[in-house]
A = this chain, B = another copy of it.
Amino acid sequence: MNPKRCAACKYLRRRCPKDCVFSPYFPPNDPQKFACVHRIYGAGNVSKMLQQLPDQTRAEAVESLCFEAKCRVDDPVYGCVGIIHLLKTQIQKTQNELAKTQAEIAVAQTKLSQTHISDFM
């Protein structure tokens, strides 16, 4: 029996094995992190997804799964697809502003070149 069970094993009320797939990514001091992915994906699915990945990519996979799970808890209809929509709107807005500013610069440069021509007349 490991007295310092990881947050996942504590949540699942089981002993934390030495080779626990959750233990490196779910420290006991952050129980909410596991509760969130467990609620959305289920412990079995998270374990399966991690086991299919090489060790060196698992920490990042856990972070992205936690992020997506938290988004889904916060917004049960759109999850982090809601964030993607917001960002796409922001890109559209910035691109429109850029196009407008580029049009303004074209007008300013035309005026500038016309003024220079009139300097020589």
The chain A residues found within 8 Å of chain B, CB to CB, are 40-42, 44-45, 49, 52-53, 57, 60-61, 63-65, 67-68, 72, 76-84, 87-88, 90-91, 94-95, 97-98, 101-102, 104-105, 108-109, 111-112, 115-116, 118-119
Contacts and interface: CB of A to CB of B under 8 A. Distances in A.
Given A65-B79, A111-B112, 15 more contacts: A42-B44, A45-B45, A52-B76, A63-B81, A64-B81, A68-B80, A80-B84, A84-B84, A87-B88, A87-B91, A90-B91, A94-B98, A98-B98, A108-B112, A115-B115
A98 B112 CA distance: 21
Contact of A53 (B76, B95, B102): B76
